[in-house]
A and B are shown apart, each in its own frame.
Chain A
Amino acid sequence: MQIFGIAAIALITTFCVLVLREVKSELAAAVALAGGIIVVLSVIDVFTDIFSTIAAIAKRAGLAASVVTLLFKVIAVGYVTEFSASVMDDVGLSSLSDKVTLAGKLIIVGVSLPVVVKLFEFIAGMLS
């Protein structure tokens, strides 16, 4: 099963980071980041299967394609923001990670504004 490989990689990365912290090297954070990237990349093909099935289901349900692509874009932005914010939290730069999280939230709201506007128009149309 995949999880054993991922757990092994994560544990090895943890010990490498501990050794590097012992020697007071700044590269401990780099090793942690590399380990995180490897774990994510080894799971990425499961992502692709999930998202293609979701897209197929959404298409069959008759959802507008733009809404589904918007959903994927929001998920992608959210994930990248969380990934980088957690790396900065690791190193202790909580101020920077808060700023990145704020930027991610603003981007998500900016991207999803058209749908919200469409929703309000739809409601207004129904009420009038």
Chain B
Amino acid sequence: MDINIIFKIAAVGLITAIINQVLKKTDKDEIATLVTLAGLVIVLIMIINMISQLFDTLRSVFGMY
């Protein structure tokens, strides 16, 4: 568990935001929303892996279930 996950997510957020701006300027708004959705899905998959790891660790620490 180290810092590059945060940089990865921040990079995805930044890139999707910039691509959004570019696409909006060339008035291709529907592609912009698709790019936002794609970025969101990628980040959500990463976050869900981290959350499941946290909850598994908590479960093992507290000996639940």
Binding site for B on A (CB under 8 A): 8-9, 12-13, 16, 19-20, 23-28, 30-31, 33-35, 37-38, 40-42, 44, 47-48, 51, 69, 72-73, 75-76, 79-80
Instruction: Take A33-B47, A75-B62 as given contacts and tell me if A38 and B3 are in contact as well, using a CB distance cutoff of 8 Å.
Output: yes
Instruction: Report whether B3 and A26 are in contact in the complex, using a CB–CB cutoff of 8 Å.
Output: no
Size of B's binding interface in residues, CB under 8 A: 33
From residue B36, how far is it (CB to closest CB) to chain A in Å? 8
B34 is an interface residue with CB less than 8 A from chain A? no
Q: Report the separation of the CA atoms of residues A25 and B9 in the bound assembly, to the nearest whole angstrom.
A: 11
Q: Do A37 and B14 form a contact, CB below 8 Å, given A69-B63, A72-B62?
A: no
The answer to whether B3 touches A47 (Cβ under 8 A) is: no
| Residue pair A24, B17 in contact (C-beta under 8 Å) | yes
Given A27-B43, A51-B61, A41 and B6 contact (CB-CB distance below 8 Å): no
Whether the pair A23, B14 counts as a contact (CB closer than 8 A) is yes
Q: Which residues of chain B are near A24, meaning CB under 8 Å?
A: 17
CB proximity of A9 to chain B, nearest CB, Å: 6
Q: How far does the alpha carbon of A51 sit from the alpha carbon of B59 in the complex, in Å?
A: 13
Query: CB-nearest residue of chain B relative to A27?
Result: B13
Is B13 within 8 A of A28, CB to CB? yes
The answer on a CB contact under 8 Å between B5 and A47 is no
Rounded to whole angstroms, the CA-CA distance of A121 and B14 in the bound complex is 61
**8 Å CB contact of B6 from A23, A31, A72, A79:** A31
Q: Which residues of B contact A42 (CB under 8 A)?
A: 1
Decide: B14 and A41 in contact? CB cutoff 8 A.
no
B40 in the interface (beta carbon within 8 A): yes
Q: A25 to B17, alpha carbons, bound, how many Å?
A: 6
CB pair A80 B50 closer than 8 Å: no
B22 proximity list for chain A (CB < 8 A):
none
